[in-house]
Amino acid sequence: MAVSDLPLLVRSWIGQAVVTVDHTVTVEKASWLSFCAAVQDGNPLYWDEAFAEAHTGSAIAPPAMLPSWGSAYDWFPGKEGDGLRPMELHFLLKEAFGYPNGIVTNVEIEYHEPVRAGDSVRVEQILRAVSDERLTRLGPGRDWTIDLIYRRQDQALFGRHSISFLAYGSAATHQEAS
């Protein structure tokens, strides 16, 4: 990555928590049981208190739900949403470079501590890398990787979610296609 050709604003984002979503919901067992019922996941760590107590200290939420606990609501009674889009940092990067389109090219998730009922989740979106601009079959574009760091209310690490994107096209290309 040649950071010298990046806009100063984007350069200042590399390695920094640019967007933070803090405690949107308190984790509750009823929510994860609805998820488990929908996907027919009968893991006793999620359902059976006695089994979970013996193996993990208490029931745990399915690890696959980690990203859902840190999503901001667009709206809830008495308060307008905070204006954050899902993966807000990705959209800020698309706007900074003038790319109208973007796709996910790779996803990796590391799990550290299990999420339990009563937990609160904080998510930081950190720009890890941005490539030089290159010509793709879809127009000019760049690759970037954003890490989402999930932490519990006491700062213990729940996990890291690394998502790579390709953003491409130009405002002119987008208008021609419309």
The three-state DSSP-derived secondary structure of 77-112 is CCEECCCCCCCHHHHHHHHHHCCCEEEEEEEEEEEC
> Considering the chain, what is the average pLDDT of its residues?
89
> Does the domain made of 3-177 have the CATH classification 3.40.220.10?
no
Place of tokens 């793709």: 136
What local confidence, expressed as pLDDT, does residue 24 receive? 73
Residue 60: both structure tokens together? 């745990």
What local confidence, expressed as pLDDT, does residue 178 receive? 40
Q: Which residue has the higher pLDDT, 83 or 5?
A: 5
Q: Give the tens place of pLDDT for each residue, 22-78.
A: 877 789 999 999 999 999 999 999 999 999 999 999 999 999 999 988 876 666 666
Give the separation between CA 132 and CA 143, rounded to whole angstroms: 8
What local confidence, expressed as pLDDT, does residue 81 receive? 58
What local confidence, expressed as pLDDT, does residue 91 receive? 96
From 116, 110, 92, 100, select the one nearest 160 (Cα to Cα): 110
Place 167 in a pLDDT band, splitting at 50, 70 and 90.
very high
Place of tokens 């998820």: 35
pLDDT at 175 over 80: no
Q: What are the domain boundaries of the chain? A: 3-177
pLDDT at 120 over 80: yes
Residue 111: both structure tokens together? 């799990």
What local confidence, expressed as pLDDT, does residue 76 receive? 63
Q: Give the tens place of pLDDT for each residue, 145-156.
A: 999 999 999 999
What local confidence, expressed as pLDDT, does residue 25 receive? 79
Q: Give the tens place of pLDDT for each residue, 99-119.
A: 999 999 999 999 999 999 999
Q: pTM for this structure?
A: 0.86
What local confidence, expressed as pLDDT, does residue 22 receive? 86
Residue type, 128: R
pLDDT at 172 over 80: no
Question: Which residues lie closer than 8 Å to 119 by C-beta, 6 or more apart?
Answer: 26, 27, 69, 152, 153
Give the separation between CA 126 and CA 151, rounded to whole angstroms: 14
Exposed/middle/buried for residue 138 (C-beta within 10 Å: 0-12, 13-18, 19+): middle
Query: CA–CA distance from 148 to each of 108, 128, 134 (Å)?
Result: 10, 10, 25
